[in-house]
Amino acid sequence: MVREGRELRGPVVYWMSRDQRAKDNWALEFALHKAHKNNVPSVAVFCFSTDYPQLTLRSFVFMLGGLQVLAKNLNERHIPFILLIGNPVERIPEFVKEVEAGCLICDFDPLKWKREWLRGVAEKIQVPFFQVDAHNVVPCWLASDHKEYAARTFRPRLLRKLDTFFSDYPPGLENPMPWPGRVPEQDWNTITNFQKHLLPVDPVPLIPGEDEAMSVLEKFLEERLASYDRERNNPLSGMSSGLSPYIHFGHISAQRILLELDQIRIDMPSENAFREQVLVRRELSENYCWYEPSYDMVDGFPNWARKTLDKHLYDSRPYLYDKQELEYGMTHDALWNAAQREMVVSGSMHGYLRMYWAKKILEWTASPEEAMGYALEFNDRYQVDGRDPNGYTGVAWCIGGVHDRPWKERPVFGQIRYMSYGGCRRKFDVEAYIDHWSGKEEDR
């Protein structure tokens, strides 16, 4: 509960933020359940904040397409969808007041700006304000009550709670009564006008929305899951699911992915490997961002990692690059340049290469602080799935040993796990990848 208060007999407002879908959404179902109980209508509101960090045209176009599908799907259940524009800390309380809401419900996000919004909104409203974790299978604050040290400490806790939380979704409720008065026609043009204020990163041809997310999942389970365990670390195989943008924008829930996974039995190692990523690793990232206020800074690293990085701070670096050289993929390493290019051009980078990519930023910049800054800025700006707990935790794992352990000491990295070009070569056809993404012979 974000804010206690006396529940009034007014509409139930669901402030949808992270989980942008009409199906398989516990926050929406909770809102409808309350509306039925109180015999009042419910409404879903999305507030588009124009000063959201790293708001690019790329992520905006993907999100907007998803919202249009969502509005249609909500409409089929007679749930009005209202799009507000502006600062949620102002706009949500104004809306709550305007419609004389009985209570407010929102979905869960461990990231700081969302938490600040919630605090700001809670200060301005009088009605009860509930938060429902519709993103995770086990609500983040119940999965563990502290920052976990590693997957091995988190996994048993999480798995124990599955009996309670991993169930099929009930059939979605309809709105108990029509919205009183006119639902404003959705003005998609006004929001489209904001495009000129966004960071100019080109959109990518990825179809957004919850309907497409289900198709991507089905296709993956049918055609590629069987090879996931063997091929997922090969960026050329295309064997991973490609679900991360859809999970990030809440177009599909992790719980739905796992429910569908349970329906098929083809290859145990692959099923287990995929379940480990979708469930354990993803929810571990949520745990890190929820319990570690400095999740995007060096201060969040474990003590052993900070110490070892400090000890090696003044080691001579074989190469030092500035932000522009990194951003434009102008390093001596053709594999790194190709990975950077894959991200900039396609809005995605293969998971295995993301690790290599971030570790090399540590190796080629003057300090871990600088490395964190660049890695997060590029990740959030160019990846469609950026600005996600997985991104902050993934970068912190690579650069700061978060959820990892000390390894053999070496220059610059100290005891942080190292990755090499030669290691990548043993995993996949590096030359073919470079050819594909750079096509420049002279880079090698």
Ligand X SMILES: Cc1cc2nc3c(=O)[nH]c(=O)nc-3n(C[C@H](O)[C@H](O)[C@H](O)COP(=O)(O)OP(=O)(O)OC[C@H]3O[C@@H](n4cnc5c(N)ncnc54)[C@H](O)[C@@H]3O)c2cc1C
Residues in contact with ligand X by the rule CB under 6 A: 232, 240-244, 247-248, 277-278, 281-282, 285, 351, 354-355, 358, 379, 383, 385-386, 388, 390-391, 394-395, 398
CB of 234 to ligand X, least distance (A): 12
Q: Please give the helix or strand (H or E) that residue 14 lies within, else none.
A: strand 12-16
- Give the residue among 317, 235, 320, 243 at the shortest CA–CA distance from 274: 243
Task: Supply the DSSP symbol for 149.
Answer: S
- Looking at the DSSP assignment, which residues form a beta bridge with residue 83? 46
Task: Supply the DSSP symbol for 410.
Answer: B
Toward ligand X, which CB reaches closer, 129 or 274? 274
CA pseudo-torsion sign 308, 312, 318, 322: positive
Rounded distance between C-alpha atoms, residue 125 and residue 89, angstroms = 10
CB of 156 to ligand X, least distance (A): 18
Toward ligand X, which CB reaches closer, 92 or 339? 339
Toward ligand X, which CB reaches closer, 3 or 135? 135
Toward ligand X, which CB reaches closer, 58 or 354? 354
Radius of gyration of the chain from Cα atoms?
22
Toward ligand X, which CB reaches closer, 30 or 290? 290
Toward ligand X, which CB reaches closer, 45 or 243? 243
- Give the residue among 11, 258, 293, 49 at the shortest CA–CA distance from 138: 258
Toward ligand X, which CB reaches closer, 7 or 229? 229
Cβ proximity of 326 and 340 under 8 Å: yes
Listed in sequence order, the residues at least 6 apart from 428 whose beta carbon sits closer than 8 Å to its beta carbon are 233, 234, 235, 236, 237, 352
What does the buried/exposed string (b/e) look like for 83-119 if buried means 16 or more CB atoms within 10 Å of the residue's CB?
bbeeebbebbbebbeebebbbbbbbbbbbeebbebbe
Toward ligand X, which CB reaches closer, 42 or 241? 241
Rounded distance between C-alpha atoms, residue 396 and residue 354, angstroms = 12
| Four-CA torsion 188, 193, 197, 202, nearest 10 degrees | 70
CB of 377 to ligand X, least distance (A): 12
CB of 28 to ligand X, least distance (A): 21
CB of 332 to ligand X, least distance (A): 21
Toward ligand X, which CB reaches closer, 95 or 357? 357
CB of 414 to ligand X, least distance (A): 19
Helix (H) and strand (E) counts for the chain? 21, 5
CB of 388 to ligand X, least distance (A): 4
- Give the residue among 374, 370, 358, 369 at the shortest CA–CA distance from 419: 358
Q: Are strands 12-16 and 42-48 parallel, antiparallel or unpaired?
A: parallel
CB of 245 to ligand X, least distance (A): 8
CB of 282 to ligand X, least distance (A): 4
Cβ proximity of 131 and 14 under 8 Å: no
CB of 171 to ligand X, least distance (A): 26
Phi, psi of 11 (to 5 degrees): -60, 150
Toward ligand X, which CB reaches closer, 73 or 244? 244
